[in-house]
Structures are given as structure tokens and as C-alpha cells.
Amino acid sequence: MAHHPLYSDLCQIAGSKYVADSDFAVWAYAKDSSAYPARVPGIVVRPNTAEEVSEIVKLANQHKVPIVPRGGGTQFGGWPPGEPGKSICVDMTRMRRILDVNELNKTVTVEAGVTCAELEARLLPKGLYAHTVFSPADSVTIGGMVCGVFGGGGQMFAGLASNWPTIVGVKAVLPNGEVIETGTRTNPHAKMFFRSAVGPDLAGLFIGSMGIFGIITEVTLDLFYWQPHREVGAVAYKYERLDDAYQAIVKLGMHEPKLFSLCILFGLGPLAQTDWQLLYRAQGHSREELDRKLETTARIIEDTAPPDAWQPADAVGYATEFLLHGHDFPPHTLGMWTIMEFLCPRDNTLEIFKALSELIVEELRGWEDRVLSGGCSMFMCGEQHYLSFGLYHKESDPEAREKALSVSQKGNILGLEMGGFKLVLNKEGGDICAAMMPPAYSNWLRALKKAMDPNNIMNPHMLLLP
């Protein structure tokens, strides 16, 4: 088989051991963790330094070949298309050094390919943590996390989610191959110790960008002190009692000081008859602090719902399992997933939640054996709520896959029209959001992309961009 036209050049840059263009190698990079179609790159390269990344980007520009950066490949809204059979997939997982743990400045700087689990394993013995994502921690890279959802959670659940403010800055290779640093590194004499920059906060251009403005090679995150005392709690509500459960989660969320490191309202099973489980995890620097939080929580739950609405004991076993092993939770046994998710303002979360549940129940009528509703969850995410609904099908059933994807498409449009907001701007989800952008905003995005990437090599065709 003939090699990709840039095979020799890429071997010169990264070393032949780290370049592959055989069918079986490129297919391994064709999908994310969703049911959306595969998009096969032409070649894969695994750089080791920012300089190598810069050389690759310059080469791609010279030959006008698209680049698709890749971390753990775990995103779930459709893998970027690039140009199938031609694009260069830049796999960042070789760049996995933890560069600096600065306990005094409370920052940690890592290369983009470090996984959340690796970072946590390194920080925990020092009594520290950084905000990462809920799961799958052993695959999600810090670079992918910053470019992707970064809605949060974190294996340690040591703070309410909404992680974007905890990003201090990035080092990135721009589409023209230049290497830049944001934040306090806009003063070349300073360390990366604060998000504030000379001029506007351009780190934000990369956060949630899905890699359309460049390749992140390093990330600096805030560090926090680990809270050693922790306890998991749970309360189960009968399915008619969703409103009671929601009232409880709202009251808990509004309490100051914050009571939880994590709080979820979880509905397992068919949506029409779901029992609701309010799961929470409280942490404290001392036993007294933790006990105070737990007592306040119990009081709020008791005051919010009538005594027959909930049972304290039923859900504890499930909660413990779910919260300790975030990415092993039961729906994964159900097959391939398609996930709908929204960030919602507190004042209309419940309406969006109910409308989506009804849509899913209605749409799946007659399909119950082939597309399973894996239930739903409502995470407290800072002052907002994060909703997710999982559908599951067997990959051997292409009609079921199409059905799951079409229900998800309808749900995504409904949720957006009701005022929800999507954090996942991957190919398919991102296109739906971009279609709703006011023209002035999409023109601004187009102009920015064109100015930064005139040859359109960096993750093209995302967000309805060319």
C-alpha cells in the first residue's frame, strides 16, 4: 500500500516509530465514544514536544492538509470529520509529563496528554487535587478536557462542578505553527500563576474550542487541598415525587456555605416509572465540619418533602457504588450509548427535564426492546443544573442506532429551544447549536476562525464552519 503523501516528512519530525498510516492504525482513531459515524484520518502522528507539534502544523499548512487533534478520544457527540482518508490525526497522548506542582502558588502544569487519573494519582499523596472530569478518568486527557466539555465532577468530587474558572492558562500551537502562552505568561518574565493576561483573556478561546483554534500542548490548573473526611448519602423518592426531589436538590444547592462536593438526582430505568435517587457526597477538612454539613443536609431534606415522599436507606448502596466508581455504573452494560445533555438555569431545569423525559418516552414507544432508556441524571453544577439522558442500543442493530440518534437529535433541539445550553460542541451537537446562533455571533466566529486559520487546517467543518 502506498504511504500517505506526508508520511516521510512526519517521520522526520516525530520519528518513524510514532507515525502510522496503515488501515488498522488509522481506523483506531476514526471514532469517539458515540454512535455517530467513523471519520478515518489519513495518517496518525504522535509528537513528543510542542516544537514537534509546531513543525507538524507548519507542514500541514504548507500542504493544506487538515489536522484533527486527539486526546483520549472519549468525547461523545461525533468525532471531527477533518478530511476522511487525508487528515493528519495528531495524537497527544505521548506528551504526558507532569511539569510542575507548585504548592505555594497552588498551580499544577502538565502536558496535554496527561490523563485525569495520572494527575490525580500524582497529586493525592501530597493532599492536593485539581478539578478534572467525572469520568472516564483513565482515558480523558487534560488537553482534551479543556478543549472538550470540562463540565466537571472529577474523580475526587472535591468541589462542585463548573470547572472552567479553575483553568489558569494554556500553552498552544496556533494554526500557523506559532507557539503561544496565555495568562500571566503574556509577561515573558512571569510564571503561569494567574488567568489574568495582558489584554483580554484569550485562554478562553481554547476552552471548549474542540481544537478549532490550535493544539494545546500544556495546561496549568488551580490546585486545591484535599478534604480527607467524606461521606456518601442517598435518599430515594417514589417516581410521582420528582417535584419533591427537585425541591430538595434546589434548597440544598442554594445553601451557603456549600454542603456538597457532589449532588445528583438520578432516575434509573424506564423514564415513565422511574424512582428518583438523590445522591450526595459531602467532604470536610475535619470530622466536625463534615458532621455539620450532614446534619444540615438531613434537616433540609426533612423540611422539604413530606415524610412519605422519601426513604433514606434504599439508595445508599447504589450511591456508594456509583460515587466511588463513577465510570463503571450499570447503564454501561446496556450497549452503545447516545447521550443528550444540557446545562440548565435553576429556574427552568424542571420544565426542560420533564419535557425531555416525555419526548423520550413518546419516541421510544414500540422500540422498548431495541433502544433502552438508561435513565437520566441531574447534577448540581455550580449554580446551574446539568441534565443527561442516556439511550442504549446494540451496535449490531443499525436501525436501533438510527433511532437512538434521531431521538437524541429531537431532544437536543427541544432542550435548546426551551433555553437549555449544550456544553458538548462536538461535530453533531455543535452543528445543532451553531444552527441556532444569532447571525452576528456566527459571523464573528467565522471571522475569528478565518483570521487565525486562513488555510482552514485546524479541525475544519466543526460548528457549521467551512
Binding positions for ligand FAD, 294-353, rule CB under 6 A: 327
CA angle, 449 as apex, 446 and 453 as ends, to 5°?
Answer: 140
The answer to whether 442 touches 92, Cβ cutoff 8 Å, is no
List C-alpha distances in Å: 306 to 245, 300, 301, 311, 377: 11, 12, 9, 11, 23
Report how many residues bind ligand FAD under the rule CB under 6 A.
Answer: 37
Task: Quote the cell numbers at residue 126.
Answer: 501530597
Instruction: Kindly state whether residue 70 participates in binding ligand FAD, applying the rule CB under 6 A.
Output: yes
10 or 140: CB nearest ligand FAD: 140
**From CA 449, how far away is CA 456, in angstroms rounded?**
8
Q: How far is the CB of 378 from ligand FAD (least distance, A)?
A: 13
Closer of 141 and 274 to ligand FAD (Cβ): 141
Q: Which is nearer to ligand FAD, 305 or 465 (CB)?
A: 465
Q: Which residue is nearest to ligand FAD (CB)?
A: 148
Among 108, 197, 216, 323, binds ligand FAD (CB under 6 A): 216
- Residue 131 contacts ligand FAD per CB under 6 A: no
Segment interacting with ligand FAD (CB under 6 A) among 128-136, 181-189, 266-274, 295-303 = 128-136
Q: Does 150 bind ligand FAD (CB under 6 A)?
A: yes
Q: What grid cell was written down for 133?
A: 472530569
Closer to ligand FAD at the Cβ: 68 or 278? 68
Please report whether residue 151 would count as binding ligand FAD according to CB under 6 A: yes
Identify residues 104-123 at the interface with ligand FAD (CB under 6 A): 112
Q: Which of residues 182-201 bind ligand FAD (CB under 6 A)?
A: none
One of 13, 119, 123, 147 touching ligand FAD (CB under 6 A): 147
**What whole-number distance in Å separates Cα of residue 157 and Cα of residue 282?**
9
Residues 435-464 that bind ligand FAD (CB under 6 A): 459
Separation of alpha carbons 305 and 301, rounded Å: 7
CB 305 → ligand FAD: shortest distance, Å? Answer: 27
Grid cell in block for residue 57: 502544523
| Position among 92, 128, 364, 465 found at the interface with ligand FAD (CB under 6 A) | 92
Secondary structure (DSSP) of 309-363: GEESSTTHHHHHHHHHSGGG-GGGGG-EEEEEEEEEEGGGHHHHHHHHHHHHHHH
User: Segment contacting ligand FAD (CB under 6 A): 136-144, 232-240, 266-274, 363-371?
Assistant: 136-144
Give 51's DSSP letter: H
Under rule CB under 6 A, residue 135 binds ligand FAD: yes
Residue 129's Cβ-side half-sphere holds a number of Cα atoms within 13 Å equal to 20
The binder of ligand FAD chosen from 134, 164, 226, 322 (CB under 6 A): 134
Name the residue nearer to ligand FAD (CB basis): 50 or 305. 50
State the cell numbers at 456: 482552514
Smallest separation, CB 137 to ligand FAD (Å): 9
3-state secondary structure of 212: coil
Q: DSSP string of 363-400?
A: HTTT-TTTSEEEEEEEEEETTEEEEEEEEEE-TT-HHH
Residue matched to cell numbers 490548573: 221
CB of 172 to ligand FAD, least distance (A): 7
Pairing relationship of beta strands 179-181 and 310-311 according to DSSP bridges: unpaired
Contact between 446 and 430 under an 8 Å Cβ cutoff? The reply is no
Q: Does 78 bind ligand FAD (CB under 6 A)?
A: no
Q: Is 230 exposed, middle or buried (0-12, 13-18, 19+ CB in 10 A)?
A: middle
Chain residues binding ligand FAD by CB under 6 A are 32-33, 68-76, 80, 92, 112, 133-136, 139-141, 143-145, 147-153, 210-211, 215-216, 327, 459
